[in-house]
Structure 1
Amino acid sequence: MSAPATAPTDVLAATRRRLWAALETRDEQAATAAVLGAHDAGVPAEDLLLDVIGPVQAEIGAEWAAGRIGVAQEHAATAIQDRVVGALAHRTADGPRPETGEAPRHVTVACVDGEWHALPARLLAEVLRGRGFVVDYLGAHVPTPHLIAHLHQTGTDVVALSSSLPVRLPTAHAAVTAVQAIGLPVLVGGAAFGPDGRYARLLGADGWAPDARAAARLLAVGPPRPRPARLPVDPPHLADQEYTLVTRARTRLVLQTLQGLEDAVPAMASYTDRQRERTAEDLAHIVDFLGASLYADDPELFTGFVTWTAGILRARGVPGGALVAALDLLADAQRDFPRTRAHLVAGRRALLPVPAPPSPGPHS
Structure 2
Amino acid sequence: MTTCTTADGGDLQGLRERLWAAAVDRDEFAAAGLVLTALDDGMDAESALLDVIAPVQMRVGTEWAANRITVAQEHAASAIAERVVAALAHHPTSLTTPHLGRVTVACVEQEWHVLPARLLAEVLTLRGWEVDFLGAQVPTPHLVAHLHHTGADVVALSSSIPTRIPAAHGAITACQSIGVPVLAGGAAFGPDGRYARLLGANAWAPDARTAAQQLADGIAAPNLAAGRLQIDDLPHLADQEYTLVTRTQGQLVKEVLAQMEERFPAMAAYSDQQRRRTAEDIAHIVEFLTVALYTDDDDLFTTFITWTASILTARHVPAQSLHPALDILTAELKEFPRSIRLLGQARVALDCTAAAAGRHSGALT
Instruction: Name the TM tier (shorter chain).
Output: over 0.9
Are positions 1:285 and 2:284 aligned together? yes
Deviations 1:295-340 (A, max 9, x none): 1110100011001100000111111221111111111211111111
1:7–1:47: 8 Å Cα contact kept in structure 2? no
Shift, 1:8, TM fit: 7.9
- Which of 187, 193, 196 is residue 191 of structure 1 equivalent to? 187
Indicate the residue corresponding to 1:233 in structure 2.
Answer: 230
1:185–1:226: 8 Å Cα contact kept in structure 2? yes
SS at match of 2:230: coil
- Aligned counterparts of 1:127 and 1:353: Cα–Cα separation in 2: 41
Indicate the residue corresponding to 2:341 in structure 1.
Answer: 342
Deviations 1:326-364 (A, max 9, x none): 1111112111111111111111111123377xxxxxxxx
Shift, 1:96, TM fit: 5.5
Amino acid at match of 2:229: P
Shift, 1:281, TM fit: 0.4
- Aligned counterparts of 2:41 and 2:126: Cα–Cα separation in 1: 18
Q: Mind listing any 5+ residue stretches in structure 2 that lack a counterpart?
A: 358-365
SS at match of 1:353: helix
Shift, 1:227, TM fit: 3.0
Are positions 1:40 and 2:40 aligned together? yes
**What's the TM-score, normalizing by structure 1?**
0.92
- Aligned counterparts of 2:330 and 2:293: Cα–Cα separation in 1: 14
1:95–1:133: 8 Å Cα contact kept in structure 2? no
Relative to structure 1, the CA distance from residue 206 to residue 8 in structure 2 (aligned partners, 3 Å threshold; closer, same or farther) is farther
Quick check: which one's helix share is greater?
Answer: 2
Shift, 1:279, TM fit: 0.4
Deviations 1:10-63 (A, max 9, x none): 622111011001011110011111111111111111111111111111110011
Structural mapping, 1:1-364, within 5 Å: 7=7, 11-91=11-91, 92-95=93-96, 98=99, 104-229=100-225, 230-234=227-231, 235-354=234-353
SS at match of 1:287: helix
Shift, 1:168, TM fit: 0.4
Percentage of matched positions with identical amino acids: 61
SS at match of 2:11: helix
Shift, 1:245, TM fit: 1.1
2:330–2:340: 8 Å Cα contact kept in structure 1? yes
- Aligned counterparts of 1:283 and 1:10: Cα–Cα separation in 2: 47
Indicate the residue corresponding to 1:359 in structure 2.
Answer: none
1:94–1:132: 8 Å Cα contact kept in structure 2? no
Relative to structure 1, the CA distance from residue 9 to residue 274 in structure 2 (aligned partners, 3 Å threshold; closer, same or farther) is farther
Task: Name whichever of 111-120 and 12-21 sits farther off.
Answer: 12-21
Shift, 1:108, TM fit: 0.1
- Aligned counterparts of 2:112 and 2:206: Cα–Cα separation in 1: 19
Structure 1 moving runs of 4+ over 4 Å:
5-10
Higher RCO structure, 1 or 2 (CA under 8 Å, sep 6+): 1
Count matched residues.
Answer: 347
Relative to structure 1, the CA distance from residue 8 to residue 168 in structure 2 (aligned partners, 3 Å threshold; closer, same or farther) is farther
2:104–2:156: 8 Å Cα contact kept in structure 1? yes
Indicate the residue corresponding to 1:101 in structure 2.
Answer: none
RMSD: 1.6
- Aligned counterparts of 2:347 and 2:303: Cα–Cα separation in 1: 11
- Aligned counterparts of 1:297 and 1:127: Cα–Cα separation in 2: 34
Relative to structure 1, the CA distance from residue 197 to residue 9 in structure 2 (aligned partners, 3 Å threshold; closer, same or farther) is farther
Shift, 1:241, TM fit: 1.0
- Aligned counterparts of 2:22 and 2:220: Cα–Cα separation in 1: 40
Deviations 1:137-180 (A, max 9, x none): 00000000111111111021000000001100000000001111
- Aligned counterparts of 2:101 and 2:12: Cα–Cα separation in 1: 30
SS at match of 2:32: helix
Amino acid at match of 2:167: T
Shift, 1:181, TM fit: 0.9
2:88–2:94: 8 Å Cα contact kept in structure 1? no
Amino acid at match of 1:164: S
- Aligned counterparts of 2:251 and 2:336: Cα–Cα separation in 1: 16
